Amino acid sequence: MLKRATLFSCLLTVLITATAVAYDRSEFLFLDEIEIGMVGVGRTIVAGDIIEEFTADVLGIIDQPGQLSDFIVVRVSGDVIGRSGGIAQGMSGSPVYVDGKLIGALSRAANWSKAITPIGLVTPIEPMLAVLDDAHAGAIYSAPMPESRLATVGLAHLEFAPSDELVATLPDVMFSYPVSSPLMVVGLTGRSLDTLMNGATGHGLPALLVSDVLDGGVQPTVRGLSSLGLNLIPLAGTSAGAPVDPASLVAGGSVGVSLASGDMSIGSLGTITYRDGDTLVGYGHSFIDNGSSQFPLASVSIIDTMKSLQASFKLGTLGDPLGTILEDRTAAIGGRLGPVADLIDVNLGIRDADRGVENTYDLGLVKEPRLIPNLLLSTGYAAVDKTLDRIGQGTVEVTYQILGDNMPFPLERKDVFFSSTDVAVYAPWQLASIVSFLQYNSFEDPEITRIAASMQITEDIKGIQISSLALDRNAYAPGDTIRYEVTLQTFQGEARIEQGTLQIPQNLPSDIVVVRAYGGPRYLESGEPPQEFEDLGDLIDAIERIPSYEQLTVELFAVDVYSLDPSGLFGVAEETYEYTGYAVFDEREITVPLLYNGGTSDFGQPDEDSGEGPGW
């Protein structure tokens, strides 16, 4: 056993020398030095930004395969734990010391039938130091002493605390659950908060997105933050509080990760485990497993720790950004004080035209493409709902502007939507669609710097329905002119009629033609090749040219008889009409034969009726 311990010590010395020369081993106790019965001290903030201590007695080590699955099991006690109601959300990252040496960070709570007092799991310091060293130069790892292992104890990871009955049934199993870094949210309530946490399921989102119209790209996935393992605390402070001196950010103090700041605030809080100069690590677990990251490192002010039967939690407020979280790994988050991560500046201007109420919301959102759709949708909901002070029918006219450092020119687009049930849905969803499409384009990162959306909303339903379509003949020949008439019905208003013509090409290789009247954009037909783009500028131009819902289009389609898909349509000619401030909806289409050789098509179909239709 002595030889084995010596071997581990030598191996550890080599690894430390190769990967963490900045650290003096005397600052830490590594996994191979931990013994059952050691008495440690943990540090955390419970209230009033004062770091307090609690007792942590070492019960043993859970030694599982892999370097990121080992935990030091401790029994926690003391006045701090009693006042907190146990291990509270927000305590994750709390440093634990034995004889003044750091052994790791409190990261999970646990229930075990053999221990009555609160049990915690400590993430060893070795993998946390690897995060501090950018998690790329190698791993700092040591193996525990055999006599310190809880070899007969199984560890089951759960999302929530287990029932007492389950714990009693399996005495040789320790049930752990996260001491999460809870989310603090200010400015979102109701369905905007539900969207943030649970996604957009069931909110009646329209299916027609930029990626559908242009037949490519990535559709926005509005995943709730709860799917990333984040929990929302029931309460949050409403002000940032006094400025924080970066020098006060020490082990045991609080630290936050910000996702949104400004008129609405979204972020999490946890505890600093270790600081080395301007670099620090904390949490003892990941935030959202983002890997290399660019999240603002925010100061946090703790108001109090609230006891709860489900899970006690720290109540606090996010402050100003003081640096950047650069690493979000399994064992810890790691960041550096000083330069702050760039954010996307978002401006949402909402005007309730019926009441003359106008609000502007300025936000800073993290530049993380997989989070942006949810953040835009949930904050967009909140902005509209706050301004209208209602959820229901209406029409919204919206103008978007998106700028980026790598964009050759700003993307500008306007549109109009109406809804009989929820007018807030469409504009934020289309904005999320456009931004997601840009961020996942095939050419280059647009480096989006600013997103602006201006919405004017009225309770009136300003919709125009396409009620009928009529053609002047029942059959045509190549080179003929089609005369059409579209009847439209304004919602609870007057009827309108549009008349026009479409020219059939002389050499069109088709046995039928289809005339369709529709509002807004349309899907790519199966007989049409996908649109090709040469660069990011070409893509931006295509997004701007997608028809808005203010537009009525009457389009001529044909079938390419030489195509592998004999039923696939492709567009031939079109006429458009603009109805400013109104959304055109529904569609009508008519299919008629295209005849050749004096009344008989190339495919032997006789021209049964080539007379003019009614009304002409």
Is the pLDDT at 26 greater than 90? The verdict is: no
| pTM reported for the whole predicted model | 0.81
User: Mean pLDDT in the chain?
Assistant: 82
What is the pLDDT at residue 204?
60
Give 314: exposed, middle or buried? Use CB within 10 Å, 0-12, 13-18, 19+.
buried
pLDDT tens column, 179-216: 556 788 989 988 899 999 998 765 566 666 787 788 77
- Comparing 66-70, 368-372, 443-447, the range with the smallest average pLDDT is 66-70
558 versus 136: the higher-pLDDT residue is: 558
Query: Which pLDDT score is estimated for 604?
Result: 33
> How do the domains of the chain map onto residue ranges?
2-178, 183-188+221-337, 344-458, 463-593
Report residue 146's pLDDT band, with 50, 70 and 90 as the boundaries: low
Q: What is the pLDDT of residue 61?
A: 86
pLDDT at position 598, please?
46
Least confident of 38-42, 89-93, 115-119, 385-389: 115-119
Strand partners, 177: 109
- Residue % of the chain over a pLDDT of 90: 50
From the list 488, 487, 406, 500, the residue with the least C-alpha distance to 446 is 406
Q: Determine contact, residues 464/583, Cβ cutoff 8 Å.
A: yes
Element of type H or E holding 489? strand 481-490
Residue 612's pLDDT is what?
A: 40
Would you say 295 and 341 are in contact if contact means Cβ atoms under 8 Å apart? yes
Residue 373: phi, psi to the nearest 5? -55, -45
- pLDDT for 70: 85
pLDDT score, position 334 = 93
Q: How far apart are CA 176 and CA 510, in angstroms?
A: 68
Question: Among 179-193, 265-279, 296-310, 418-432, whose mean pLDDT is lowest?
Answer: 296-310
Q: What are the tokens at 532? A: 């090709």
For 237-251, the pLDDT digits (tens) are: 555 555 678 888 999
Q: What is the mean pLDDT of residues 317-323?
A: 87
Range with top average pLDDT, 65-69, 161-165, 518-522? 518-522
- Structure-model confidence comparison of residues 9 and 119, the more confident one: 119
pLDDT at 317: 82
CATH 3.40.50.300 given to domain 2-178? no
State how far the Cα of 333 lies from the Cα of 249, in Å rounded to an integer.
Answer: 15
The larger pLDDT score, comparing residue 567 to residue 152, is at: 567
Q: Which of 78, 39, 79 is nearest to 57 (CA)?
A: 39
What are 450-483's pLDDT values in tens digits?
A: 999 999 999 999 999 999 999 999 999 999 999 9
pLDDT tens readout for residues 424-453: 999 999 999 999 999 999 899 999 999 999
pLDDT at 64: 74
Average confidence (pLDDT) over 69-73: 85
Which of the two residues, 566 and 238, has the higher pLDDT score? Answer: 566
pLDDT band at 10 (very low <50, low <70, confident <90, very high): very low
- pLDDT given at position 3: 34
- 118: confidence class by pLDDT, cuts 50, 70, 90: confident
CB 213 within 8 A of CB 433: no
Q: Pick the residue with more confidence: 103 or 600?
A: 103
pLDDT digits (tens, 9 = 90+) for 213-233: 887 766 777 788 988 888 887
User: pLDDT tens digits for 584-610?
Assistant: 999 999 999 998 764 433 333 333 333
